[in-house]
Every structure is written in structure tokens, then in C-alpha cells.
């Protein structure tokens, strides 16, 4: 009986964390909740294709898999404005780009969300941003599918 309650509580916990998992990903959750060893059981549950709960389809639709919505990015111009500081123009293109107004931007020295303030016309948009980087051409861009990102640094993209 105790094992059944333990399993039921774990499943309820995993259901509760599922939306955060879709937003932050496995690595993000591990970084945010390093002491929550129950998450490892949840990750195994999330990987099970037949696992389902009421509301899962709505969460999956709201936060599509990153692999299904990859964007292509290109740095168009880069100007050094200080030690390890660059003014960069980049372009991102994606079929589903209009579903998000946030782009996760990662360099060797920083990680932040860029907020799109102007609508993207077509499938591509060009933006300016100031980056701290060693090699700005290695900057990585990815969509963040949430309306309320829980992130420390959010910058408006020009």
C-alpha cells in the first residue's frame, strides 16, 4: 500500500513538473532544481511514449518540441566595441518563429533571452544585440516557447 502511494505521489509530482520540463528542458530543470532527485524518475517517465495525463496534449501543443521547431540563424555583421564585447546583427528563420517572442541567445560568456519587439515578416527576422563573447560567430540561437519565461536576464532585441 505504501509503495502505491509513493508511486502515485511521484506521478503527481511529474505531472506538476511537466510544463516546466517543456519550457526549460532536462538540463534547465537539473540546473534549477539540483537537489530534486525525483526529477530523474520524471525524465524516465517523460521519455515513455505511452505516458499520458489529462492536459498533457494541451501542454505539448503549447510548447512544441525544440527539434520540431528548429530555427536557422546567421550572423550578418559583427563589430567589436570593447574587450569581449560585440555589436552583432543576426537573422533567424523558422516556420514556427511567430509562435514565440523570445529567443535564447548563448555565447561562451553569457546566456540570456532576447525579446522580439517588432513582428517578424515572413519566416525570417533580423535583429541587433550587444553580446559578451570570445567568438561571436559561435553564438547559438533557439526559440523559447513561453509567455512568462522565468529567466534572470531578458533583453529587448533591436
Question: Cell digits for 67?
Answer: 527539434
User: Residue 2: helix, strand or coil by DSSP?
Assistant: helix
Set of cell numbers at residue 17: 513538473
pLDDT digits (tens, 9 = 90+) for 120-155: 666 788 899 999 999 999 998 887 766 556 667 788
- The answer to whether residues 73 and 13 belong to one domain is no
- Render each residue's pLDDT in the chain as its tens digit; 158 residues: 455 777 788 899 999 999 888 888 888 788 888 888 888 889 888 887 778 889 888 888 777 664 444 578 899 999 999 999 999 999 888 765 555 678 888 999 998 888 887 666 667 888 999 999 999 999 988 877 665 566 677 888 88
Alpha carbon of 119 to those of 29, 58, 97, 158: distances in Å?
30, 25, 10, 12
The answer to whether residues 56 and 76 belong to one domain is no
Q: Which of 120, 108, 109, 107 is nearest to 157 (CA)?
A: 120
pLDDT of residue 67: 42
**Domain match, 131 and 77 both:** yes
Name the domain boundary from 12, 42, 62.
62
Containing structural domain, residue 56: 2-62
> Which of 33, 62, 91 finishes a domain?
62
The per-residue pLDDT for 15 is 92
CA nearest to 155, candidates 97, 111, 112: 112
Chain centre distance of CA 148: 12
Same domain as 72, residue 55: no
Q: Do the Cβ atoms of 121 and 80 come closer than 8 Å?
A: no
58 with 115, same domain: the answer is no
Domain boundary among 47, 62, 77: 62
The answer on 147 and 107 residing in a single domain is yes
- Residue 53 in grid coordinates: 495525463
Q: Does 150 lie in the same domain as 134?
A: yes
Dihedral of CA atoms 150, 81, 142, 144 in degrees, nearest 10, equals 20
Q: How many domains does the chain have?
A: 2
Cα(14)–Cα(105) distance, rounded to whole angstroms? 28
Specify the pairing of strand 111-116 against strand 154-157.
parallel
Per-residue model confidence (pLDDT) at position 69: 47
Amino acid at each position: 500500500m505504501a509503495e502505491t502511494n509513493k508511486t502515485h505521489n511521484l506521478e503527481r509530482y511529474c505531472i506538476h513538473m511537466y510544463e516546466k520540463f517543456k519550457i526549460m528542458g532536462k538540463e534547465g530543470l537539473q540546473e534549477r532544481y539540483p537537489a530534486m532527485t525525483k526529477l530523474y524518475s520524471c525524465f524516465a517517465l517523460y521519455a515513455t511514449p505511452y505516458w499520458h495525463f489529462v492536459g498533457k496534449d494541451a501542454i505539448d501543443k503549447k510548447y512544441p518540441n525544440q527539434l520540431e521547431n528548429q530555427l536557422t540563424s546567421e550572423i550578418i555583421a559583427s563589430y567589436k566595441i570593447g574587450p569581449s564585447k560585440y555589436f552583432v546583427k543576426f537573422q533567424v528563420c523558422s516556420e514556427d518563429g511567430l509562435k514565440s517572442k523570445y529567443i535564447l541567445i548563448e555565447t561562451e560568456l553569457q546566456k540570456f533571452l532576447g525579446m522580439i519587439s517588432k513582428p517578424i515578416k515572413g519566416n525570417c527576422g533580423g535583429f541587433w544585440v550587444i553580446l559578451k563573447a570570445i567568438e561571436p560567430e559561435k553564438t547559438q540561437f533557439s526559440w523559447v516557447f513561453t509567455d512568462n519565461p522565468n529567466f534572470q536576464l531578458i533583453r529587448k532585441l533591436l
